[in-house]
Structure 1
Amino acid sequence: MNHFEYKGYLGSVKVSVADKCMHGKIEFINDLVNYEAETVEELKKEFEASVERYLEHCKLVGKEPNKPFKGTFNIRIGHELHEKAAKRAEEIGKSLNDYIKDTIKKDIESHA
């Protein structure tokens, strides 16, 4: 595992040999939240504390916290590929959304 997980947030784990420390940030959000420590245990605690501070700050300023994964995303695949995917989905009796979702799931499971 190359990341921490806490309250639905993922945190990176990086090492700086030059600075002799570990550091990371909350991944997959639009806000920048960093943390650092000298050991993995301390880094995990700092990550969790950073998530808590981030959530508290958002509450304090009346901002909705970013969520790393909402379950939806937009992709740009070009006109030709979009058309081919829509036609293939129709051929097999699926919506385009289900076709794309099933294709991604199949690929991920085959590499797990």
Structure 2
Amino acid sequence: MNNMMTYKGYSARIEYDDEDGILFGQIAGIRDGVGFHADNVEDLRTAFHEAVDDYLETCARIGKEPQKPYSGKMMFRVSPEVHRRAALAAELSGKSLNQWAEDVIDRAAG
């Protein structure tokens, strides 16, 4: 079962509220709170698309740059030993460390 929707580069995790009998979601990866809900999947998809479109239109109208979920840049620190082993694994696989790390993270993230 897939509990995620994607539209125009934005993603949302979908949940079900049994008490209210609705499906709902919120755009993930941005600080602005943009949510939506509906009674069925088809209407939920429409509501998600409308929420993203409205968010982008509102940002344009008020002159605000819309938040992007992720830039593609990751900065983190590892121990020198992990760095050494990762660099060696990348070299042995014929890839740059960035290419190798992207492949490893992609596999791990599913």
Normalising TM by the smaller chain, what interval? 0.7 to 0.9
Deviation string for 1:55-100 (max 9, x for gaps)?
0121123222222243322334333312321243345554221221
Amino acid at match of 2:59: C
Counterpart in the other structure of 1:5: 6
What stretches of structure 2 of length at least 5 have no aligned partner?
Answer: none
- SS of the aligned residue for 2:86 comes to helix
Equivalents in 2 of 1:98, 1:82: separation in Å? 14
What secondary structure is seen at the aligned counterpart in 2 of 1:13?
Answer: strand
- Aligned partner of residue 101 in structure 1, secondary structure: helix
Structure 2 residue 97 is matched with structure 1 residue 96: yes
Pair 1:92–1:4, CA change in 2 (3 A): closer
Within a 5 Å distance, the mapping from 1:29-68 to structure 2 comes to 29-68=30-69
Q: Distance in 2 between matches of 1:102 and 1:16?
A: 36
TM-score by length of 2: 0.76
What's the Cα RMSD here? 2.4
Instruction: Report the equivalent of 1:14.
Output: 15
Aligned residues: 108
Q: 1:78 and 1:61, CA in 2 relative to 1: closer, same or farther beyond 3 A?
A: farther
**What's the TM-score, normalizing by structure 1?**
0.75
In structure 1, the gaps of 5 or more residues are none
Letter in 2 for 1:86: A
